[in-house]
Structure 1
């Protein structure tokens, strides 16, 4: 009877651990970042493959999805914006608010020296050719805590 009481006492705790939570998963196929969502600021910094100048793409991520909120760049041409809103600290700046859905992918090569930064912490530094996937999804709390959401996807 005591074992049954002990099990019943732990049952709500296990139910909480299985509760689905919103997470951001960023993966390059080898390394992954899993973060519980409220709201996350994400920066993708890289060296443009053609222009060879630095580009910073700014995203906002929450449970409703991924939003492009800005871009900073230092040169023009080869797919870089031409509609500058202003300049700041040597960068051209464009601020937007574009919903991108719940998944997004970037292809990087070593020449890009790409870094993925979440809330000012570098979570991935891309050193080889890689497809980096960003996904907003639900995951059981226990797997989110363990950083195991998205494995096998």
Structure 2
């Protein structure tokens, strides 16, 4: 289990903390949310590309199997960007998975920033991240 988690963490580039510096709204090539872990190491989540294509992903250890769900409307893409801008998620430098975890990552200009946290930890930061995660996940599930 720990091996799978470490593989996931190392498979994601953690290079920058400033993904949309100077932009009025977040720009990204790809944004991902995922959750996983536990006994099976099963991971599931969503990936959205800058063109609005939304993919559902799942796999053991990482989100490797993708299937196109839909194309997000311009309104939905703007809402996602608004959520990301307001939350300023990538000021966080969390790499704190528990037995189960949530993650969000954004790729821009070839650089990826990822945060991983235990959704059951008790802190204001985790409470905030869980709220944002739920808001984005519900946007993708409409």
TM-score (ref. length: structure 2): 0.38
Q: Indicate the structure with greater helix content.
A: 2
Q: Indicate the structure with greater strand content.
A: 1
